Amino acid sequence: MNYITVGKENSCNIDLYYEDHGAGKPVVLIHGWPLSSASWEKQVPALLRAGHRVIVYDRRGFGNSSRPAVGYDYDTLADDLHRLMTTLDLREATLVGFSMGGGEVARYLGRHGTERVKKAVFMAAVTPFLLKGADNPAGVEASVFEAIKQAILADRPAFLTSFLLNFYNLHAFGGKKVSDEAVRLSWNIAAGASPKGTLDCVQAWLTDFRDDLIRVDLPTLVIHGDDDRILPFAATGSRTHEAVKGSRMMVVAGAPHGLNWTHAEEVNRELLAFLEEEPAI
Query: Largest Cα–Cα distance of the chain, in whole Å?
Result: 55
Q: Which of 99, 186, 194, 247 is catalytic?
A: 99
In terms of C-beta distances under 8 Å and separation of at least 24 residues, what long-range contacts does 11-14 make, across chains too? 12/66, 12/68, 13/66, 14/60, 14/66, 14/68, 14/71
81 residue type, one letter? L
Catalytic residue among 31, 186, 228, 241: 228
With vertex at residue 91, the alpha carbon angle to CA 29 and CA 18, rounded to the nearest 5 degrees, is: 35
- 228 flagged as catalytic: yes
CA distance 104 to 249: 19
Q: Which of 52, 224, 241, 257 is catalytic?
A: 257
DSSP state of 46: H
Q: Going by C-beta distance under 8 Å and a sequence separation of 6 or more, which residues neighbour residue 253?
A: 226
Q: For residue 89, is it left (φ>0), alpha (ψ between -120 and 50) or beta?
A: left
Q: Active-site residue numbers?
A: 99, 228, 257
